[in-house]
Amino acid sequence: MRGFFVLLAPGWIPTVKSYLYGPFFYTMQITKNSVVSFHYTLNDPEGQVLDSSAGREAFAYIQGHSMIVPGLEVQLEGRKAGETLVAIVPASEGYGEVDPSLVHKVPVDRFGGAQVEPGMQFQAGEDGGMGVFTVIAVESGEVVLNGNHPLAGVTLHFNVEITDVREATAEELAHGHVHGAGGHHH
């Protein structure tokens, strides 16, 4: 009688899914509480590179926990490791539209004589809420501060390569972040 042998991947633990689909044929889809690792390049609508994971570890997050912009998270749902996609995320599903109420003019003397220039950032707030404000202009004795995210109002173009999908551990869910490669290291 001939035996039947299956070569298993290191660390592979049989599950109900593996009995149904086999250890090499089942690929986990991205769903809530999945740890997802991916490489990306983020461009603006004109094609200028805004950010990229090139040369770094893949970015890792837990799906369904608002760790990435909502529009990208929605477009990753149901996908699998090995897939690539171009995700175009409108501003309303990215960093939001520009909110004019977050643009303020402040007298320059409120900065205690410091040299204030466009591009500088300050942390400020009231009523227990803090935010980052960027100096967009200094004119006529006033500093114009913008509290919007720098990418507010921008349609985001992500080129994504999904490198891994797995279930989050109970510890990762309790801590609210990914542990290990691409995530938090304790």
For the segment 61-79, what is each residue's pLDDT rounded down to a tens digit? 999 999 999 999 999 999 9
* pLDDT tens, position by position, 87-124: 999 999 999 999 999 999 999 999 888 899 999 998 88
Contacts 24+ apart (CB under 8 A), 174-181: 176/62, 176/65, 177/62, 177/67, 178/35, 178/60, 178/61, 178/62, 180/60, 181/37, 181/57, 181/58, 181/60
The predicted pLDDT at position 52 comes to: 97
Closest CA to 58 of 76, 82, 40: 40
Q: How confident is the model at residue 131 (pLDDT cuts 50, 70, 90)?
A: confident
**pLDDT (tens digit, 9 = 90+) per residue, 2-22?**
444 444 444 445 555 445 555
pLDDT at 50 over 60: yes
For residue 121, the model assigns a pLDDT of 93
Q: What are phi and psi of 16, to 5 degrees?
A: -60, -40
The CATH code of domain 16-95+153-175 reads 3.10.50.40
Give pTM, 2 decimals. 0.76
Strands (E), the chain: 34-43, 49-52, 59-62, 84-89, 103-107, 121-126, 129-139, 142-146, 156-167
Q: Which two tokens stand for residue 57?
A: 């570890």
Among 14-23, 24-33, 125-134, 149-158, which stretch is predicted with the lowest mean pLDDT?
A: 14-23
Do 168 and 178 touch, CB atoms closer than 8 A?
A: yes
100-146 folds as: Thrombin, subunit H (2.40.10)
pLDDT at 92: 97
Domains of the chain by residue range: 16-95+153-175, 100-146
